[in-house]
Structure 1
């Protein structure tokens, strides 16, 4: 099992140092999360916590995911870089395809794009995007993005996005970035199976390994090619010992890569505990 770490952004002055340290320590990957805006009061149900409440302060800084990974790419050379997950329907797909392709080319083909429909209705309202259409928009968005990565996307007339003939979208990545899909609904699992894999989210306090195993099995049963299963484990900072004890069960559940939270000063100790169990 690969071990990844989420890049903490609560102390912006430490972001570069953390990325460098994560690579030097031996983590396999570095991940960021994504929101464009955050309401002062979150009323939407957060699907990854037992009580439905978001687990972070509303005023926590959310740096742009692609910009943040670009900075990490500039100070690392080995770490894979990923988003878990980007709220795709809030972006213009051709622009984002170009941003991710540019990051992939400049960063040495290390990018994994995790995408999801999102859950925060207030965020959709702030950006003027209908919340009810987010799943259908995501399907079309992913088709546009992947086609743009060819460098010469085909003309298309879709329900939400049109693209004229004769458009070049360059640079084209040498290897198209893997696209993983996040979410817990059956629609999300089917979508993950159509792409390159699934990003599961669990809170360590309420971690249900059987639920992860069922989701992973569903995606694998539907997929044509073997999918990747990445588990983003929130609430794990300062609890590396507990996470390490769960690694064998998570591996048996079909998790290929675990992405944990760690505090900057605990990154090495946490990795050593996890490394001893994987």
Structure 2
């Protein structure tokens, strides 16, 4: 991981948009950039970036993900840090790319992966561990509950970093989510292959969210938010969902 830096330093950061966010939730990406620039980072969006290969690897086609791993390294290896508002995709890069190149027997690519992978960070890791901040100057006067997504919790072990950031938000009423560490049931292709089980798990999570009385459900992965939020929407529960980046980017002048 990169050496700690203070807010206001000129840290050159690449935004790893991820396929889902780039296609469906661009507001999360815009919020990430606004937030990091407010903290003094130089944020670049490399237009040559593509998918990290997670869907191929997770469905048993890891060998076919090799060109995507090579492209990822080509695009991102020159930056001080690479940040993504997705624990799922960062988890894939940090925990799957090494295995893919090892199976391919490409020693040169393996060396480049080893150089690049430690610089790939989930948003809360960059803020807390690299920039050394928890109070990012956010203002969000709403009752909020937080769902820790499986990959951020179990693969990246981000711990309470997102909660540290949320607790420092001015005006927020942060309430604990019962059974927070239980999976919401999305799981990428799991939701398609095991739809009934996925919806049942998501319904349990939605019930817990409603029980908190929260106005807003927050998480660090839009895929999980879409799954839980879809169920909440069909139930007309009156709970909206927002990515962590959008809450942290919110200010009194421009609230989310």
TM range (shorter): 0.3 to 0.5
Higher helix share: 2
What TM-score results when the alignment is normalised by the length of structure 2? 0.33
What TM-score results when the alignment is normalised by the length of structure 1? 0.31
Higher strand share: 1
